Structure 1
Amino acid sequence: MEKLRVGVIGCGSIAQHRHLPEYKANKQVELVAVCDINEERSIEVAKKFDAVAYTSYEELLKNGGVDAVSVCTPNYLHAPISITALNAGVHVLCEKPMATSKQEAEAMISAAKESGKKLMIAHNQRFVPSHQKACQLIASGEIGKIYSFRTAFGHGGPEGWSVEGKEGWFFQKEKAFVGAMGDLGVHKTDLLRYVLGEEIVEVGSFVETSAKDFANVDDNAVCVLKTESGIIGTLAASWAYVSKEDNSTIIYGEKAILRLEDDPVNSLVVQYANGEVVNYQLGKIQSNDEGGQNNSHVIGKFVDSVLNDQEPPVPGEEGMKSLLVILAALESNETKQIVRVKA
C-alpha cells in the first residue's frame, strides 16, 4: 500500500511530543519533511526523525512532495498556513484553536471544500476513553435529563514544557491571540459539545491575567455556559494550577452524576441516584505528565480519514463551533454582558 507522505510545519513542543512521534510510529505514514523558522531546531528535529528540514512552509509545500501536513505553529499562523496548504492540494491537520476569528475559520473551511482536501482540527479530548463512554451513556438516556456540569483544564502554564519557556509565543498576544482560553478552554468547549451532544448558545465570563506577570494574554478564566436545551454549567481554564494538573469534568444528570478524569484510578465514576456506584478504569488521559497516555489518537484518525477518503472526526466546522464559544467568552469579558454564541 502507498504510504501517506507527511510534513510537520512548526517544530515546537506539540510537534515533538505528539505529531512527530505518532506519525513516525504509524505504519501507513512516511514522515518526509519538517519546517521551523528556527533553522537550528528544524535541522535538529529533521535529523532525529529522518526527514528533510525546511525553514519556509511555502518551500516545503512546493518541493517537499507531501500529501498531508500538520500545522503546529503559533495560533496566528494556523489559518494562513492551512489555507495555503489546502490550496496547494495538501490535506491539513491543524492544531487548536484553529484560527483567531470566525472569518479565518470560515476561510479554512472554504479552502478545504474547494480543494476537496481534508481539514481536521486536533481536538483530542473527544478520543479519551472516559469521554467517549460518558457520551454514550448520555446519548442512550442512561443518565436521564442533564441539569448541569462543571469542567476544568488547568496546569502551571506552558513555560514548563514549551521549547522556548517564558519567551515562547504562548505568552505573546500578537502571536497567540488568546492565552489559557485558547490553549485549554477551547479543548473543553469542544469536549462539552461532544459529550452533551448539544451546542453552547450563551456565555458569560471573567478572563484575567493574574498569574503570569510576563504575559499579555489571559492565564485564568472562568465561564458560565448555557446549551440550547438550557443545561447550565461552568468552565475554568487556567495556567495558575501550580502543583497538579486538573483535567476533570463532572456532569449532573437526573439519574446519575458522571465524574470524568476526576479520580486518579477510575477514569469514569458513575454515581447513580439510587446509591449505586460504577467505576470504569479506561486508561489515563493523555497529558504531559509522566504516566499520561502518549497516544492522542488524533494522528491515527487523521491518517485514516485521508487514506480511506472519509470525513475527519473533527472537521473544520466542528473546530469553528468550539472556537466561537471562546470568542463569545472573550467578548463577554470585554463587554461585561452575557453573549450569544454566533452561529
Structure 2
Amino acid sequence: MSDRRRCALLGFGHIAATTHLPALAACGITPVAILETNPERQALARQMLPQASVYGALQPLLAQTAPELVDVCTPPHLHAAQVQQALRAGAHVLCEKPLVTELQQLHALVQQARAAGRVLGCVHNWTAAPIVRAVGRLIAEGSLGALQHIDARTARTQPAAAAGAAHSWRGDPQLAGGGIVFDHGWHGMSILLRWAGGRPTQVDAQLATRRHHHLAVEDSCEARIKFAGGV
C-alpha cells in the first residue's frame, strides 16, 4: 500500500481494541478512522486514538477518509454489506470471522474482490500458532506417514467475552449467524482444511445447548467430517 497509515477500523469492541489495534501497530499501521455507533465505545476510541476520526456511519467514513485498508470488527450480520462497500470504495479488506453468514454472500464478495483487484482476507489467527504450524510442517514433510484421522477438540467453560450479557450480539442468532460453530468452530475448521488437504465431502453434526440455556444459540457441537483426501 502506498500509505500504510490509511486504515479504517470498523467496530471498536473488545476484539478491535485489544487485539486488532496492537496487531496493526506491529505492522506500522495506525487507523485514521473508526466506525462505531455505541457512545461509550466512541469515547474509548477517541481516548485511545485521538488522531483518528470517529464516525457513526460507514459511507461518510469511506468518502471522507479514502482508506486503503478496511479492518472489519463488527458483528457478523453486518460483514457482507460492509465488506461490499469497502471493496466498492477501492479498499483492501481484512474481516473478522465469520466472514459471512450465508454462502451466497461469500461467492459474491469473492467475485467483487477479484474484479476490483483487491485483497479480501479473513482472520485465521489460530493458523499462526507455533504448534499448528509445527504440525502442518510434519504433515507436509510426510513425517507422520499417510494422514488418516484427525481428532480435534476445543473446550470452553463459558461463552466468548461479554457473550453472556443481555445486550451481547453473540447470543442473538440474527446478529451472530449462529452459536459456537460460527463463533469458535471457524478457527478449528480453518486448521482442519489445511491439514486434511482437501474439501469436506460429508458432514454429520449435532448441535445442542447443554449449559448456557439463557442464550438463543447452541453452545456445543459434535461433528464427523470426511475430506476428499480420505481423512
Normalising by the residue count of structure 2, what TM-score does the alignment of the two structures yield? Answer: 0.92
Determine which structure has the larger strand proportion and give its number: 1
Moved more, 219-228 or 189-198: 189-198
Per-residue displacement from partner, 1:210-250 (whole Å, max 9, x unpaired)? 2222211111111011111221xxxxxxxxxxxxxxxxxxx
Q: Describe the SS at the equivalent of 2:152.
A: strand
- Kept in 2, the 8 Å contact 1:132–1:195? The answer is no
Residues 1:54 and 1:100: Cα distance change in structure 2 (over 3 Å) = same
Residue type of the alignment partner of 2:54: A
What residue number does 1:132 align with?
133
What residue number does 2:183 align with?
183
Cα distance in 1, alignment partners of residues 229 and 195 from structure 2: 14
Cα distance in 2, alignment partners of residues 9 and 43 from structure 1: 15
Q: Describe the SS at the equivalent of 1:107.
A: helix
| 1:49-198 alignment runs, 5 A limit | 49-50=49-50, 51-158=52-159, 161-162=161-162, 165-198=165-198
| 1:298-317 alignment runs, 5 A limit | none
Residue type of the alignment partner of 1:212: H
- Kept in 2, the 8 Å contact 1:20–1:49? The answer is no
Q: How many residues align?
A: 229
Residues 1:25 and 1:104: Cα distance change in structure 2 (over 3 Å) = same
Cα distance in 1, alignment partners of residues 21 and 79 from structure 2: 18
CA shift for structure 1 position 125? 1.6
- Kept in 2, the 8 Å contact 1:78–1:98? The answer is yes
What residue number does 1:248 align with?
none
Cα distance in 2, alignment partners of residues 14 and 158 from structure 1: 14
Per-residue displacement from partner, 1:271-327 (whole Å, max 9, x unpaired)? xxxxxxxxxxxxxxxxxxxxxxxxxxxxxxxxxxxxxxxxxxxxxxxxxxxxxxxxx
Cα distance in 2, alignment partners of residues 76 and 43 from structure 1: 24
Cα distance in 2, alignment partners of residues 211 and 68 from structure 1: 40
CA shift for structure 1 position 197? 2.1
| 1:211-222 alignment runs, 5 A limit | 211-222=211-222
Residues 1:158 and 1:58: Cα distance change in structure 2 (over 3 Å) = farther
Cα distance in 1, alignment partners of residues 109 and 3 from structure 2: 27
Kindly report the root-mean-square deviation, in angstroms, between the aligned alpha carbons of the 2 structures: 1.7
- Kept in 2, the 8 Å contact 1:91–1:119? The answer is yes
Per-residue displacement from partner, 1:103-125 (whole Å, max 9, x unpaired)? 01111111211211110000112
Cα distance in 2, alignment partners of residues 18 and 44 from structure 1: 15
CA shift for structure 1 position 134? 1.0
- Say if 2:227 is the partner of 1:209: no
What residue number does 1:31 align with?
31
Residues 1:118 and 1:195: Cα distance change in structure 2 (over 3 Å) = same
Cα distance in 1, alignment partners of residues 158 and 79 from structure 2: 21
Residues 1:164 and 1:90: Cα distance change in structure 2 (over 3 Å) = farther
- Kept in 2, the 8 Å contact 1:39–1:55? The answer is no
Q: Describe the SS at the equivalent of 2:151.
A: strand
CA shift for structure 1 position 164? 7.9
CA shift for structure 1 position 67? 1.0
Cα distance in 1, alignment partners of residues 164 and 148 from structure 2: 42
What residue number does 1:3 align with?
4
CA shift for structure 1 position 102? 0.9
Per-residue displacement from partner, 1:246-271 (whole Å, max 9, x unpaired)? xxxxxxxxxxxxxxxxxxxxxxxxxx
Cα distance in 1, alignment partners of residues 203 and 163 from structure 2: 33
Residues 1:156 and 1:46: Cα distance change in structure 2 (over 3 Å) = farther
Per-residue displacement from partner, 1:45-65 (whole Å, max 9, x unpaired)? 232123211111222111123
- Kept in 2, the 8 Å contact 1:76–1:100? The answer is yes
What residue number does 1:47 align with?
47
- Kept in 2, the 8 Å contact 1:135–1:196? The answer is no
Unpaired runs of 5+ in structure 1? 232-343
Percent identity for Structure 1 against Structure 2: 29
Q: Describe the SS at the equivalent of 1:149.
A: coil
Residue type of the alignment partner of 1:128: A
CA shift for structure 1 position 163? 8.2
Higher RCO (CA-CA < 8 Å; seq separation 6+) = 1
Residue type of the alignment partner of 2:173: K
Normalising by the residue count of structure 1, what TM-score does the alignment of the two structures yield? Answer: 0.63
